[in-house]
């Protein structure tokens, strides 16, 4: 039987939950840091890039939360 790895199983193991928590925390913290530094930046190009990075990590954190719902 071939398993489809693109589908989330109905049951998440404790180990998988730990991985998901780590992934969420990494992305949440990266988003927060990028947003902080975008507020500190004076160069508009760097500011825009940091805001894009913050948004990307925020979306990744949201995706992890969607898996857990």
Number of domains in the chain: 1
Percent of the chain with pLDDT over 90: 75
In a domain, 56, yes or no: yes
In a domain, 3, yes or no: no
Question: What pTM does this model have?
Answer: 0.79
Residue numbers of the chain with a pLDDT score lower than 70: 1-5, 8-9
In a domain, 1, yes or no: no
In a domain, 5, yes or no: no
In a domain, 36, yes or no: yes
Decide if 64 contacts 27 (C-beta within 8 A): yes
Decide if 5 contacts 42 (C-beta within 8 A): no
In a domain, 7, yes or no: no
């Amino acid at each position: 039987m071939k398993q489809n790895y693109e589908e989330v199983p109905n049951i998440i193991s404790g180990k998988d939950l730990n991985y998901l928590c780590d992934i969420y925390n990494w992305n949440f913290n990266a988003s927060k840091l990028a947003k902080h530094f975008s507020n500190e930046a004076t160069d508009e190009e760097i500011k825009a890039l940091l805001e894009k990075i913050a948004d990307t990590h925020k979306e990744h954190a949201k995706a992890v939360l969607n898996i857990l719902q």
